[in-house]
């Protein structure tokens, strides 16, 4: 018996709509296309403020600044300036509620300063004046052996700009003036007073200024310094004879009351304290 099957019916093909492919269930399935590869995760954005070239550049720059600052601060004059300004000022001050250096019977506020004029005293002095809130006509009372000429002149300029009076002396707990002295560079500061009161028993001392720099020509240095001092004293209304008195000696020369008044260094005659 013939058991083979034949499919002679072609009607199915005739009836299948066009465009639909014949599917053979026993045929091997086509391989699936590979899954698309995943892109790598995006890198975290780099900070525009931090990258190694910038860090290296900053190290070089700030390293150079630090080296220069160290070299500057290692100089004796630089260290002296910072020490005088921030650590241990060479001068001391005290505010006086009512001072009457001219015995006028009208006491006014004052600032008494004592000590040596250091390399940063002008900045210190300006701060103390601001704290004391002195008004034009109030007094700066001086007691000093001198010190830095440049700083002393700046202090005198500050006094003149604020319209303050100067006097030489110290003050006791009762507010009374006691005689003292103002020598060398201190005289530059005293000359800054719009009025310069003489206190009986107090003294003004002058001498020739020379450059402290080693190796400098002492004659040329003295001439430059004295020219600077003459210009300043003339500006403050002091006679040129005071510079002549300075130039005449290297040691302190104490000026008498009448002599200082004749030079217009003292503008108010000396009175008893």
Which pLDDT score, from 0 to 100, does residue 2 have?
Answer: 47
Question: In this structure, are 144 and 265 located in the same domain?
Answer: yes
Residues 6+ apart with CB under 8 A from 231: none
Taking a C-beta distance cutoff of 8 angstroms, is the pair 141, 113 a contact? yes
Domain total of the chain: 2
Taking a C-beta distance cutoff of 8 angstroms, is the pair 178, 171 a contact? yes
- Distances in Å between the Cα of 239 and the Cα atoms of 73, 235, 242, 263, 271 are 40, 10, 6, 5, 22
Q: Which of 93, 138, 140, 82 is nearest to 115 (CA)?
A: 93
Please give the residue range of the domain that contains residue 253: 89-271
Per-residue b or e along 13-39, where b marks 16 or more CB atoms closer than 10 Å to that residue's CB: eeeeeeeeeeeeeeeeeeeeeeeeeee
Question: In this structure, are 110 and 82 located in the same domain?
Answer: no
Question: In this structure, are 144 and 232 located in the same domain?
Answer: yes
In a domain, 37, yes or no: no
Q: Is the pTM of this model over 0.75?
A: no
Question: In this structure, are 83 and 103 located in the same domain?
Answer: no
Residues 6+ apart with CB under 8 A from 222: 208, 209, 210, 211
- Give dist(CA 269, CA 190) in Å, integer: 15
Which pLDDT score, from 0 to 100, does residue 194 have?
Answer: 96
For helices 218-235 and 149-161, angle between their N-to-C axes, nearest 10 degrees:
10
Question: In this structure, are 206 and 227 located in the same domain?
Answer: yes
In a domain, 236, yes or no: yes
For 74-104, how does the pLDDT look when each residue is reduced to its tens digit (9 = 90+)?
Answer: 555 676 777 777 788 899 999 999 888 766 6
Which pLDDT score, from 0 to 100, does residue 85 have?
Answer: 72
Question: In this structure, are 126 and 228 located in the same domain?
Answer: yes
Residues 6+ apart with CB under 8 A from 100: 106, 107, 108
Which pLDDT score, from 0 to 100, does residue 106 have?
Answer: 74
Question: In this structure, are 130 and 83 located in the same domain?
Answer: no
Question: In this structure, are 78 and 136 located in the same domain?
Answer: no
Which pLDDT score, from 0 to 100, does residue 139 have?
Answer: 95
Domain with residue 122: its CATH number is 3.90.226.10
Which pLDDT score, from 0 to 100, does residue 122 have?
Answer: 96
In a domain, 23, yes or no: no
Q: Which two tokens stand for residue 163?
A: 């319209």
Question: In this structure, are 83 and 94 located in the same domain?
Answer: no
Question: In this structure, are 66 and 172 located in the same domain?
Answer: no
Across the chain, which has 273 residues, the per-10-residue mean pLDDT values are: 47 51 56 62 58 57 52 59 80 92 78 96 96 96 96 98 97 87 97 95 91 69 86 96 91 91 90 56
- Give dist(CA 117, CA 132) in Å, integer: 19
Question: In this structure, are 187 and 267 located in the same domain?
Answer: yes
- Give dist(CA 241, CA 239) in Å, integer: 5
In a domain, 2, yes or no: no
Question: In this structure, are 255 and 183 located in the same domain?
Answer: yes
Q: Which of 155, 166, 163 is nearest to 122 (CA)?
A: 155
């Amino acid at each position: 018996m013939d058991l083979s099957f034949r499919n002679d019916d072609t009607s199915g093909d005739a009836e299948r709509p066009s465009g639909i492919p014949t599917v053979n269930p026993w045929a091997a399935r086509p391989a699936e296309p590979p899954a698309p590869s995943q892109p790598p995760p995006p890198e975290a954005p780099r900070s525009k403020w931090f990258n190694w070239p910038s860090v290296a550049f900053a190290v070089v720059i700030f390293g150079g600044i630090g080296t220069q600052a160290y070299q500057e601060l290692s100089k004796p004059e630089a260290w002296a300036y910072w020490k005088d300004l921030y650590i241990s000022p060479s001068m001391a001050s005290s505010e006086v509620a009512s001072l009457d250096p001219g015995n006028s019977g009208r006491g006014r506020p004052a600032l008494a300063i004592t000590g040596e004029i250091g390399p940063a005293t002008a900045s210190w002095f300006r701060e103390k004046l601001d704290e004391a809130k002195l008004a034009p006509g109030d007094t700066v009372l001086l007691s000093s052996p001198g010190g830095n000429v440049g700083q002393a002149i700046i202090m005198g300029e500050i006094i003149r700009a604020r319209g303050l009076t100067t006097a030489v002396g110290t003050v006791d707990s009762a507010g009374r003036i006691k005689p003292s002295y103002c020598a060398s560079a201190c005289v530059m500061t005293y000359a800054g007073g719009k009025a310069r009161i003489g206190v009986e028993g107090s003294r003004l001392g002058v001498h020739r200024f020379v450059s402290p720099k080693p190796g400098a020509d002492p004659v040329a240095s003295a001439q430059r310094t004295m020219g600077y001092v003459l210009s300043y004293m003339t500006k403050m209304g002091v006679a040129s004879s005071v510079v002549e008195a300075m130039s005449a000696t290297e040691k302190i020369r104490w000026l008498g009351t009448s002599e200082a008044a004749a030079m217009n260094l003292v503008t108010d005659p000396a009175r008893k304290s």
